[in-house]
Amino acid sequence: MSNLRYRFEVGDAADRFGYIPDINPVKTEYQLDAKGSGPRVDIAVLSEVQNPRSNIWRQPCRIAIEIKLWQPGGPYLVPWDDVKKLRFYRNARDSNLPFTGIAMLFVHPVHEKCKRECPTLVCV
């Protein structure tokens, strides 16, 4: 996807940049909230359907990927915050636009402690 570019004719792009920019639709640490105050996802693929009222960096997300390395007893008690973030965006977005949320969880191989702290987690 390194050569894939979207031409963004939205918001005030031409005024800000002096031209209509072509950007790569794959973003990291992408902020899902249109106001710029919401949660971020690790990897986002922007929608091919643009929102003409939003800036380039506030375009709808087509695919959001969250990646977590979880260690039982670490700073996260249970690793479901990323799933909640994806569900929130799915429910808050324009329902006419397709969206896929992917949460990948890598669990430290402390299997017994993993089963005790998060019994609904399937450790493979």
DSSP the chain: -TT--EE---TTHHHHHSS--EE-SEEEEEE-STTS-S-EEEEEEE-SS--TTS-GGGPPEEEEEEEEEE-TTSS-SSTTHHHHHHHHHHHHS-TTS--EEEEEEEE-S-HHHHHHH-TT----
pLDDT of residue 99: 92
> At which residue do the structure tokens 């643009």 appear?
50
Q: For a pLDDT cut of 70, what percent of the chain falls above it?
A: 76
Beta bridge partners of 100: 63
- The pTM score is 0.73
Q: What is the pLDDT of residues 107-124, one digit of tens each?
A: 766 656 666 666 666 555
Phi and psi at 11, nearest 5°, equal 50, -135
Q: What band does 26 get if pLDDT is binned at 50, 70 and 90?
A: very high
Domains of the chain, by residue range, sit at 6-117
Look at 104 and 122; give whichever has higher pLDDT: 104
Question: Measuring CA to CA, which residue among 23, 24, 21, 20 is closest to residue 2?
Answer: 24
Per-residue pLDDT tens digits for 69-79: 877 666 666 66
Strand-pair category, 22-23 with 100-107? unpaired
